[in-house]
Amino acid sequence: MSKELLIIFVKNPKLGKAKTRLAATVGKEKALAIYELLLEKTKQETINLDVDRIVYYSDFIDESDLWQNNLFYKGLQIEGNLGEKISAVFQQAFTDGYERVCIIGSDCYDLTQDQLRSAFQELQNNQAVLGPAEDGGYYLLGISEMNSLLFENKNWSTETVGSDTIEDFKSLGMTYQILPTLNDIDTESDLGPWANHILTSIT
């Protein structure tokens, strides 16, 4: 067992359930195809990291999907708001004996393996690391000790989550580092050229 764990939050890819804000303008089929591409990209950027990895599903654990069972542990997100879900998996990770833990979603096409490595390196000398998203949230959060206050009193899925979390670091006296700001994929305007073949090939 590694002392480092990467938690990956995913939604089970289902037509009409994946990327609903994106689907509002490009349609359900294209939105699902784009989300499946995001999942594949996330897997490729995480599969070779020298850390343990666990995928937490939104609805059910899929034992036969793209996340190979011999390379990724698998779990199920608890019921509750996003803060409660994140707090629970961090608590479980530290209970299991991990010392440096990062969480990401599956919506950031620009996130790279090198940036993930940098996040874990920062946690060797800091208590927290945060990767801000352009929409004001964050695409990555890493901590080296559990503090449930980081996941309380937040307006989840709004533009204040990232800045509020940084204020928590300060008020709690935590040492921290900030990673480069990247773009989460929520709407059609967030898409890059990598999505063009999906937008043009699916009718």
By C-alpha distance, which of 68, 11, 36, 7 is closest to 198? 36
Buried b (16+ CB within 10 A) or exposed e, 90-107: bebbbeeebebbbbbbbb
Question: What CA–CA distance (Å, rounded) separates 192 from 199?
Answer: 11
Question: What CA–CA distance (Å, rounded) separates 52 from 58?
Answer: 20
141-169 confidence digits (pLDDT tens): 999 999 999 999 999 988 999 999 999 99
83-133 confidence digits (pLDDT tens): 999 999 999 999 999 999 999 999 999 999 999 999 999 999 999 999 999
26-72 confidence digits (pLDDT tens): 999 999 999 999 999 999 999 999 999 999 999 999 999 999 999 99
- Domains belonging to the chain, first-starting first, are 4-201 (3.90.550.10)
Residues linked to residue 7 through DSSP beta bridges, in sequence order = 54, 103
